[in-house]
């Protein structure tokens, strides 16, 4: 069944630009499955916040969490290297990918339910508390637990296809075999103590490494997304992405 679900996801993404007339294209999705009973899920109540949901909160009797990463194409990534605001291509890709994930989740839930199981239908974004910037369901964290990738210093998910893209997830009571997690960190700084290119790329001064310790100012990052990008004429494109481009992990795992 996992092979059928992967084929369904890949085909849906491949057909999407034609069926929905989007200028954005995507590379092949990176997909994985986590056991809903994995002890890392309860740990997210400490890491992310006490209101972070458990899989069983979303689907009673949850057995599996499916996560997928939609990698941007090289032209979109390169377009966002110069200047401070995100490029028009990056902003468009962000909006189109959010809609893709919304539609894919609906499609995948219907596919799972047709097989006799239940599934969640979670929005790809905006499911967080605006006061403390804590999410009630972190797609990125679910993807890490599902073996799709590991976190970088920039707090983005680094996958075998890099970090430039968007993430979605679905919780289901369908039993699926968990996929293995990467054997080592994919971030060069976390693995070898080198690189840190994303900290130099950040235009909001939200990232830094001091004495070998990484720091992330989520408030400064959030201000760049909403206070800068949205107010500069990119409605719905609350994405910066500067720390994700022109770095070793942009298009592949370094």
Check residue 227 and give its pLDDT: 65
d(CA 36, CA 60): 11
- Per-residue confidence (pLDDT) for residue 128, from 0 to 100: 60
Q: What is the reported pLDDT for 239?
A: 82
Distance of CA 11 to the CA centre of its chain: 20
Closest CA to 241 of 250, 231, 253: 250
pLDDT at 171: 98
Q: Note whether residue 35 is domain-resident.
A: yes
Res. 130: pLDDT tops 70? no
Of 127 and 124, more confident: 124
User: In this structure, is residue 67 part of a structural domain?
Assistant: yes
227 assigned to some structural domain:
no
DSSP 26: B
Q: What is the CATH number of the domain that holds 166?
A: 3.40.109
Rounded mean pLDDT of 40-68? Answer: 96
In a domain, 57, yes or no: yes
Report the pLDDT value the prediction gives residue 212, as an integer from 0 to 100.
Answer: 87
Higher per-residue confidence, 78 vs 232: 78
**Model pLDDT, residue 131:** 66
pLDDT (0 to 100) of residue 134: 78
pLDDT band with cut points at 50, 70 and 90 for residue 125: low
What is the domain count for the chain? 1
Does some domain include residue 249? no
Question: In this model, does residue 182 exceed pLDDT 90?
Answer: yes
More confident residue, 167 or 84: 167
What is the pLDDT, as a whole number, of residue 235?
60
How far apart CA 121 and CA 115 sit, in angstroms, is 16
**What span, in angstroms and rounded, lies between the C-alpha atoms of 35 and 213?**
31
Whether 33 is in a domain gets the answer yes
H helix or E strand, kind and range, residue 67: strand 64-71
pLDDT at 124: 81
CA distances from 3 to 32, 59, 177, 231, 253 (A): 11, 22, 11, 43, 24
For the chain, what is the mean pLDDT? 92
Distance between start and end Cα atoms, the chain: 31
The span from the CA of 161 to the CA of 49, in Å, is 29
pLDDT for the residue numbered 223: 83
Per-residue pLDDT tens over the stretch 27-38: 999 999 999 999
pLDDT at residue 230 is higher than 60: no
What are the counts of helices (DSSP H) followed by strands (DSSP E) for the chain? 9, 9
Cα 31 to its chain centre, rounded Å, is: 11
What pLDDT, in 10s, does the model give residues 199-213? 999 999 999 999 888
| Packing angle of the helix pair 2-19, 88-114 (nearest 10 deg) | 130
Structure tokens at 157: 């998910």
pLDDT of 180 > 60? The answer is yes
Integer Cα distance of 41 and 156 in angstroms: 18
Range of the domain at 49: 2-182
> Does residue 140 form part of some domain?
yes
pLDDT band for position 158 (cuts 50, 70, 90): very high
The span from the CA of 234 to the CA of 239, in Å, is 9
Separation between Cα atoms, residue 48 and residue 126, nearest integer Å:
15
| Rounded CA separation 79/243 (Å) | 13
pLDDT of residue 166: 97
Q: Is residue 49 part of a domain?
A: yes
83 band by pLDDT with thresholds 50, 70 and 90: confident
Mean pLDDT, range 233-242, rounded to an integer: 74
Helix ranges (DSSP H) in 55-87: 55-58, 74-79
């Amino acid at each position: 069944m996992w092979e059928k679900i992967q084929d369904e996801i890949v085909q849906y993404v491949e057909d999407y630009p034609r069926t929905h007339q989007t200028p954005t294209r995507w590379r092949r999705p990176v997909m994985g499955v986590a056991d809903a009973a994995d002890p890392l899920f309860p740990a997210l109540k400490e890491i992310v916040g006490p209101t972070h949901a458990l899989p069983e909160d979303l689907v009673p009797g949850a057995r599996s969490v499916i996560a997928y990463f939609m990698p941007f194409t090289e032209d979109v990534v390169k377009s966002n290297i110069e200047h401070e605001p995100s490029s028009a291509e990056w902003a468009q890709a962000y909006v189109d990918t959010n809609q893709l994930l919304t539609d894919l989740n609906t499609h995948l839930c219907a596919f799972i339910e047709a097989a006799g199981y239940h599934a969640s239908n979670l929005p790809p974004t905006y499911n967080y508390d605006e006061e403390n910037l804590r999410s009630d369901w972190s797609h990125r964290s679910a993807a890490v637990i599902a073996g799709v990738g590991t976190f970088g210093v920039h707090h983005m998910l680094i996958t075998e296809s890099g970090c430039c893209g968007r993430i979605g997830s679905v919780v289901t009571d369908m039993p699926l075999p968990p996929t293995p997690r990467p054997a080592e960190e994919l971030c060069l700084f976390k693995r070898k103590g080198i690189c840190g290119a994303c900290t130099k790329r950040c235009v909001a001064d939200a990232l830094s490494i001091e004495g070998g310790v990484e720091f992330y100012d989520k408030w400064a990052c959030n201000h760049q997304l909403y206070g800068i990008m949205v107010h500069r004429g990119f409605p719905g494109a609350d994405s910066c992405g500067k720390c994700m481009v022109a770095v070793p992990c942009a298009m592949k795992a370094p």
